[in-house]
């Protein structure tokens, strides 16, 4: 096979051409003498139609560069009048396309050596303009309702069938091979006069093929540490086989089972085959043959320094791409770096994997992710409102839509050579990201932030010498084609694009969602021009600033959720004009003031710790030594608050499964609003960590969909089969609609109401309770009045419910009963606060009657394996020894802990209410284990263990949650964090970040039972000394806590509304004094040795100080040193291997300065 000449272009040409993404005209009709071949490309996914063999179903596939015969089609005229022209499609493999029926639910497109079924088609311009005008559809006839459609999920390997004309999954184009944009290209063959060099990059890990010493086995290497001449390769061809020679003059050859390189040309086996890989990674495989265990492979997995051997065709460790030499710039990381602020994530290499390594910025609704590459700066951006999908009734998971990638701004820096002193960072104290490096003695600095006050992302390039900024800027529309480049003047340009995303309702296509993006480029000095390809070039500037905003016409109050499409261009122009008018310095100052007003309210400190090592090293060090790397736990807590500020402001929509960040159009679980724990977990830290107003986008969304819009009230009938109230499904898009997944699970309405009530209890905002929370709560109660059924034991049960996400569907799951109990209880309390006239007497009486007989979901059973009493998950089905219904050991292993709702986040289960139930819940929780779980599950269990006062278990879970993973596929065993500190399910899900932050807050302060419980689950072995400021408590108290030697030394409480304050802490009545901020003694009421209360005034500050403070201060000098060793002893002096759960023991800590502290610990 000949290598295509001159196909491989530079990155910007390959991916970012400003030309249309599909041909405007009708495909040319082929004859036997004049053939024209096209890829049939689906514009929604970018995948193409592939012939899979004689009488086989066609499927979607990634476009292939080499083996494209099954993907190239010619259009042949069939019989028929000009007015009713029909065509056949014939693949280059010689088979004809046909459809085997007319039923849209079962018919499939196939190919055959001889025509069968319906094999002539109409090719017509689509009425769906999501990708601009000029796109096509293919249909069996001109008058029918259906056209060819990629079935189900938008991904490679999907069947091709029939669906309604105009559907977005029908829309296609005919693209020649020359016009096709491939994700990778064949290398250009070199000649002696014209050598062309490439990196050969393995797609698993992005490691580069490198020659080593003479005749040594080749290895993988990093661009930033390897010898460049050994990593540059030129390619030559001979009779369909290929030779590879490094710039250092070494040719690849086979040496037994390994790949070697030598300058000698006498070596045998220097010619290799090259095939296009079928692996989803996309690229090529190079080998000794075209099949079998014969292909270059990273021996024993991806990584630096791996030998190159041979392995089976299709293995992910084989797949390579050829990367032009000028697209990768060698980077030498900075040796030492002192961040401007303590809470900074920082790295000495650019990111190569979006999910594991990008850095996110956001203003609450519009945000971006940053990779930090020196040569091509990829600023990928999202707006929370850009979705595809369906309005109206329930639909399938395949059809309810996706959260979409809005676009990418690519900034290519020209004239680069090796750079040194590289660092990229995300400073969460100021919510600013950056990249710094040095090249040829010049220091370069890039900064990025997402401004909430000015509603845009701001990017700034500067250099230590004038005239050094030389860039090419390209904007990519990820959902359409039209991009416009305009040079406004010598120092300014504007790039824009717009488009529409198709949507459906219950009757077919409906009004699309429109979007618009504008990027304003402004320079100081230099010139701004267009290059030959029509892209914007900045030349010899002193600095460059970009103001970027993407908008949609999403309108949550409009009947179909969109309005004002014609205003988008003006709104975007006004945004970038306004930002440019203020200038960078003013915008940055306003951004910091705005952000800090939220971030600085609450902060956790676990010691006097310096941020002096890169974040990946911090993660690695933590794995082996938590004591000396507690900064990671501190940083991760504060990072959760940063992410909530960055993803939950603006439009009344909650942060989704990925917050607001998503780099593709088919994200895991559609990046949806997932209502059986995930979106709820997103908001667990909002109230306790003093970000109450960031709860409002979720709460206002609940009120709107439950009480104003019709769909959730319709779901009461469709899902719950009752004619009043509201409910919602598990999988939800932003248009109020969702899917039939687990459609007997209808108790999410009660869970949502728990958030409404919680917001009131923390803020004491009676107007919110009256106008927003209570209407939704009452309507949900109305739903359950109709839904509940009377059981044989006389109690009311939730019928046919599920315990997410396992086990049988049956009446009275603990999960559903506890949530409805919480709903009814909170509604009773709300009526007491708002007054009886807020509802009718009949409603009050009915609520009292139901609540009295409501099954509370707190049944217990004895585990025959250990004799302990556990909380039942199902009222009628045992969780033990029941493999046909539950599975084996699910009570110890499942990621969900759905039967402990009453422990957390609700308030029904506590030692103050019923200690027997509390202990059963604790036994169930501990059995679930600390050492496994998805990222969000680990976060959930931290909160539950905090409520159970299990500080040691909390910290075990923290240790597990902070273990790094590199797995980006769906893998429940890979829970942890990525190097960018995003939570890994795996893959990335942001709920685990928020679950952790909420859990740490819960370990330090609890107030759910109307008392402030101080340090209820402190992990005494690890958090000997620390402080937290600005936590919020029920009753609208603000609380600061300091502790040393694992004991509270000072608690400061601000009463924001002036209610009585109840405080619980071991020995508080005897060992602590209470004063006002100016030192006046406050008279307290002793409730018990461990509990006091005292009256407060609005705005009053109260200080609780340990009477043992002087003794504690004496220990602080020792604990300011790092811990050298920790030993544990039982009370009789016997040394123990580790700390003991649920016991009393002695802990002795030795410090690096030689001092020792000994502590009696009660767990």
Q: Answer yes or no: is pLDDT of 1151 > 80.
A: no
Give the Cα separation of 1113 and 1123 in Å (integer): 18
Give the Cα separation of 278 and 284 in Å (integer): 9
For residue 607, the model assigns a pLDDT of 86
Mean pLDDT of the chain, nearest integer: 91
For residue 622, the model assigns a pLDDT of 96
For residue 770, the model assigns a pLDDT of 98
88: cis peptide before it, omega within 30°? no
Q: Answer yes or no: is pLDDT of 557 > 90.
A: yes
CATH of domain 331-623: 2.70.98.50
Q: Answer yes or no: is pLDDT of 1163 > 50.
A: no
Looking at residue 249, the DSSP 8-state letter turns out to be S
Q: Answer yes or no: is pLDDT of 1136 > 80.
A: no
**What is the tens place of the pLDDT at every residue in 60-114?**
998 988 878 899 999 999 866 455 689 999 999 999 999 999 999 899 999 999 8
In this structure, are residues 726 and 748 in contact, taking their beta carbons and an 8 Å threshold? no
For residue 822, the model assigns a pLDDT of 98
For residue 1145, the model assigns a pLDDT of 59
Give the Cα separation of 332 and 635 in Å (integer): 26
Whole-number Cα distances in Å, 656 to 429, 647, 673: 24, 9, 5
**What is the tens place of the pLDDT at every residue in 1033-1052?**
999 999 999 999 999 999 99
Considering only the top CATH level, what class is 675-892?
Answer: mainly alpha
Looking at residue 325, the DSSP 8-state letter turns out to be G
Residue, of 267 and 454, whose pLDDT is higher? 454
Q: Answer yes or no: is pLDDT of 8 > 60.
A: no
In this structure, are residues 157 and 47 in contact, taking their beta carbons and an 8 Å threshold? no
For residue 839, the model assigns a pLDDT of 98
Mean per-residue pLDDT for 838-863? 97
Q: Answer yes or no: is pLDDT of 229 > 80.
A: yes
Nearest to 145 by CA among 102, 115, 188: 102
Q: Range with the lowest mean pLDDT among 117-131, 748-762, 798-812?
A: 117-131
For residue 464, the model assigns a pLDDT of 98
Q: Range with the lowest mean pLDDT among 898-907, 911-920, 1116-1125?
A: 1116-1125
Q: Name 177's Cβ contacts closer than 8 Å, sequence gap at least 6.
A: 37, 39, 68, 72
SS3 393: coil
Domain over 198-327 is classified CATH 3.40.50.800:
no
- At what angle are helices 631-647 and 991-1004 packed, to 10 degrees? 120
In this structure, are residues 459 and 479 in contact, taking their beta carbons and an 8 Å threshold? no
Q: Range with the lowest mean pLDDT among 22-26, 439-443, 897-901?
A: 22-26
pTM of the model: 0.87
For residue 133, the model assigns a pLDDT of 67
Q: Answer yes or no: is pLDDT of 609 > 60.
A: yes
For residue 1150, the model assigns a pLDDT of 63
**What is the tens place of the pLDDT at every residue in 864-875?**
999 999 999 999
Whole-number Cα distances in Å, 1087 to 793, 1008, 1074: 39, 18, 15
Q: Answer yes or no: is pLDDT of 569 > 90.
A: yes
Residue 973 CA to its chain's centroid (Å): 17
User: Do the first three CATH levels of 18-175 and 198-327 match, i.e. the same topology?
Assistant: yes
Mean per-residue pLDDT for 37-52? 92
**What is the tens place of the pLDDT at every residue in 324-370?**
988 889 999 999 999 999 999 999 999 999 999 999 999 999 999 99
Nearest to 710 by CA among 504, 564, 512, 560: 560
For residue 80, the model assigns a pLDDT of 60
Nearest to 232 by CA among 275, 264, 273, 201: 201
Q: How confident is the model at residue 890 (pLDDT cuts 50, 70, 90)?
A: confident
In this structure, are residues 123 and 136 in contact, taking their beta carbons and an 8 Å threshold? yes
Fold of 1007-1108: Immunoglobulin-like (2.60.40)
Q: Answer yes or no: is pLDDT of 1123 > 80.
A: no
For residue 887, the model assigns a pLDDT of 79
Q: Which helix (H) or strand (E) holds 1021?
A: none
In this structure, are residues 346 and 422 in contact, taking their beta carbons and an 8 Å threshold? no
Domain over 18-175 is classified CATH 2.80.10.50:
yes
**What is the tens place of the pLDDT at every residue in 941-984?**
999 999 999 999 999 999 999 999 999 989 988 999 999 999 99
The domain segmentation of the chain, as residue ranges, is 18-175, 198-327, 331-623, 675-892, 1007-1108, 1121-1163
Whole-number Cα distances in Å, 745 to 630, 718, 748, 820: 40, 12, 7, 13
Mean per-residue pLDDT for 835-847? 97
Q: Answer yes or no: is pLDDT of 378 > 90.
A: yes
For residue 985, the model assigns a pLDDT of 95
**What is the tens place of the pLDDT at every residue in 714-730?**
999 999 999 999 999 99
Q: Which helix (H) or strand (E) holds 164?
A: strand 160-164
Q: How confident is the model at residue 757 (pLDDT cuts 50, 70, 90)?
A: very high
Mean per-residue pLDDT for 841-856? 98
Residue, of 25 and 135, whose pLDDT is higher? 135
Q: How confident is the model at residue 1143 (pLDDT cuts 50, 70, 90)?
A: low
Whole-number Cα distances in Å, 1088 to 78, 344, 1012, 1092: 92, 44, 14, 7
Give the Cα separation of 133 and 557 in Å (integer): 29
């Amino acid at each position: 096979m000949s290598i295509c000449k001159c196909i491989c272009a530079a990155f910007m040409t390959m991916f970012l051409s400003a030309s249309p993404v599909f041909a405007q005209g009708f495909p040319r009709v082929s004859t036997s003498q004049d053939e024209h071949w096209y890829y049939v490309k689906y514009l929604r996914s970018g995948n193409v139609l592939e012939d899979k063999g004689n009488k086989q179903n066609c499927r979607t596939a990634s476009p292939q560069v080499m083996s494209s015969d099954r993907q190239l089609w010619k259009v042949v005229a069939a019989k028929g009048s000009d007015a009713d022209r029909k065509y056949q499609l014939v693949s280059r493999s010689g088979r004809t396309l046909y459809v085997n029926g007319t039923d849209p639910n079962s018919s499939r497109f196939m190919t055959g050596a001889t025509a069968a079924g319906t094999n002539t088609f109409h090719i017509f311009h689509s009425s769906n303009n999501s990708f601009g005008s000029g796109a096509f559809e293919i249909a069996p006839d001109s008058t029918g309702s259906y056209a060819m459609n990629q079935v189900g999920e938008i991904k490679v390997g999907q069947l091709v069938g029939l669906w309604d004309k105009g559907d977005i999954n029908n829309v296609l184009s005919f693209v020649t091979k020359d016009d096709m944009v491939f994700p990778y290209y064949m290398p250009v063959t070199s000649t002696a006069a014209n050598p062309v060099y490439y990196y050969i990059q393995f797609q698993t890990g992005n490691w580069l093929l490198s020659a080593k010493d003479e005749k040594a086995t080749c290895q993988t290497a990093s661009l930033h540490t390897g010898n460049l001449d050994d990593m540059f390769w030129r390619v030559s061809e001979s009779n369909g086989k290929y030779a590879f020679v490094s710039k250092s003059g070494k040719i690849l050859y086979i040496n037994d089972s390994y790949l070697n390189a030598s300058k000698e040309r006498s070596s045998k086996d220097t010619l290799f085959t090259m095939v296009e890989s079928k692996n989803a990674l996309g690229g090529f495989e190079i080998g000794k043959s075209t099949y079998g265990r014969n292909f270059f492979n990273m021996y024993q997995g991806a990584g630096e320094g791996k030998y190159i051997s041979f392995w089976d065709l299709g293995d992910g460790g084989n797949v390579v791409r050829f990367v032009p030499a000028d697209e990768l710039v060698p980077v030498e990381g900075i040796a030492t770096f002192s961040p401007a602020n303590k809470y900074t994530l920082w790295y000495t290499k650019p990111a190569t994997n979006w999910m594991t390594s990008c850095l996110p910025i956001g203003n609450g609704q519009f945000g971006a992710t940053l990779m930090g590459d020196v040569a091509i700066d990829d600023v990928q951006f999202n707006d929370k409102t850009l979705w595809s999908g369906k309005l109206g009734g329930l639909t399938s998971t395949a059809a309810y839509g996706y959260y979409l990638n809005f676009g990418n701004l690519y900034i290519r820096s020209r004239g680069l050579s090796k750079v040194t002193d590289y660092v990229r960072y995300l400073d969460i104290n100021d919510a600013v990201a950056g990249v710094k490096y040095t090249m040829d003695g010049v220091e370069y600095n890039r900064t990025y932030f997402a401004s909430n006050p000015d509603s845009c992302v701001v990017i700034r390039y500067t250099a230590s010498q004038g005239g050094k900024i030389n860039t090419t800027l390209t904007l990519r529309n990820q959902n359409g084609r039209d991009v416009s480049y305009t040079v406004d003047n010598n120092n300014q340009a504007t790039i824009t694009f717009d488009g529409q995303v198709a949507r459906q309702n219950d009757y077919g296509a409906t009004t699309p969602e429109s979007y618009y993006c504008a990027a304003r480029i402004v320079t100081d000095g230099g010139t701004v021009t267009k290059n030959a390809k029509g892209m914007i070039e900045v030349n010899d500037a002193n600095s460059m600033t970009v103001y970027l905003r993407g908008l949609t016409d999403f309108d949550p109050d409009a009947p179909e959720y969109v309005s004002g499409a014609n205003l988008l261009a003006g709104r975007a122009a006004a945004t970038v004009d306004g930002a440019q008018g203020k200038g960078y310095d003013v915008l940055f100052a306003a951004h910091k003031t705005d952000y800090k007003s939220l971030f600085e309210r609450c902060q956790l400190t676990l010691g006097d710790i310096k941020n002096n090592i890169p974040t990946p090293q911090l993660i690695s060090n933590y794995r082996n030594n938590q004591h000396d790397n507690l900064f990671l736990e501190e940083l991760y807590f504060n990072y959760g608050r940063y992410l909530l500020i960055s993803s939950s402001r603006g439009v009344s929509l909650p942060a989704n499964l990925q917050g607001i960040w998503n780099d593709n159009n088919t994200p895991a679980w559609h990046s949806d609003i997932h209502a059986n724990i995930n979106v709820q977990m997103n908001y667990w830290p909002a109230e306790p960590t003093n970000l109450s107003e960031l709860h409002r986008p979720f709460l206002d969304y609940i009120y709107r969909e439950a009480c104003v819009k019709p769909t959730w009230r319709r779901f009461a009938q469709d899902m719950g089969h009752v004619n009043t109230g509201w409910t919602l499904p598990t999988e939800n898009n932003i248009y109020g609609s969702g899917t039939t997944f687990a459609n007997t699970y209808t108790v999410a309405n009660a869970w949502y109401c728990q958030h409404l009530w919680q917001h009131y209890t923390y803020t004491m905002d009676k107007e919110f309770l009256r106008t927003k929370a209570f209407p939704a709560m009452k309507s949900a109660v109305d739903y359950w009045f109709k839904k509940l059924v009377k059981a044989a034991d006389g109690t009311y049960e939730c019928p046919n419910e599920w315990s997410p996400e396992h086990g049988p569907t049956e009446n009275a799951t603990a999960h559903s009963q506890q949530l409805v109990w919480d709903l009814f209880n909170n509604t009773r309390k709300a009526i007491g606060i708002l007054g009886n006239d807020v509802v009718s007497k009949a409603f009050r009486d009915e609520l009292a009657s139901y609540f009295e007989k409501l099954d509370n979901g707190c049944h217990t059973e004895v585990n025959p394996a250990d004799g302990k009493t556990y909380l039942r998950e199902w009222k009628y089905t045992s969780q033990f020894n029941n493999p046909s219904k539950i599975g084996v050991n699910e009570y110890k292993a499942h990621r969900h802990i759905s039967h402990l709702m009453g422990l957390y986040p609700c308030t029904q289960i506590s030692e103050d209410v019923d200690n027997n139930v509390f202990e059963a819940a604790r036994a169930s929780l501990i059995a679930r284990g600390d050492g496994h779980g998805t990222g969000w599950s680990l976060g959930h269990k931290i909160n539950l263990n905090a409520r159970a006062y299990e500080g040691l278990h909390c910290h075990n879970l923290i240790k597990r949650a902070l273990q790094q993973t590199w797995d980006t596929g769906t893998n429940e065993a890979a829970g942890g964090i990525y190097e960018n500190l995003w939570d890994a399910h795996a893959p990335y899900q942001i709920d685990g970040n928020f679950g952790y932050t909420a859990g740490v807050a819960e370990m330090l302060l609890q107030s759910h039972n109307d008392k402030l419980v101080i340090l209820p689950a402190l992990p005494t072995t690890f958090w000997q000394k620390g402080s937290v400021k600005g936590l919020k408590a029920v009753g609208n108290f603000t609380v600061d806590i300091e502790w040393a030697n694992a004991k509270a030394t000072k608690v400061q409480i601000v009463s924001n509304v002036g209610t009585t304050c109840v405080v619980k802490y071991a020995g508080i009545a005897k060992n602590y004094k209470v004063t006002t901020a100016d030192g006046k003694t406050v008279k307290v009421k002793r409730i018990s040795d461990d509990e006091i209360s005292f009256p407060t005034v609005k705005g009053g500050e109260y200080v609780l100080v340990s009477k043992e403070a002087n003794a504690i201060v004496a220990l602080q000098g020792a604990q300011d040193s790092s811990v050298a060793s920790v030993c544990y002893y039982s009370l009789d002096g016997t040394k123990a291997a580790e700390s003991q759960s649920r016991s009393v023991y002695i802990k002795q800590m030795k410090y690096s300065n030689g001092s020792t502290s000994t502590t009696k610990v009660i767990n």
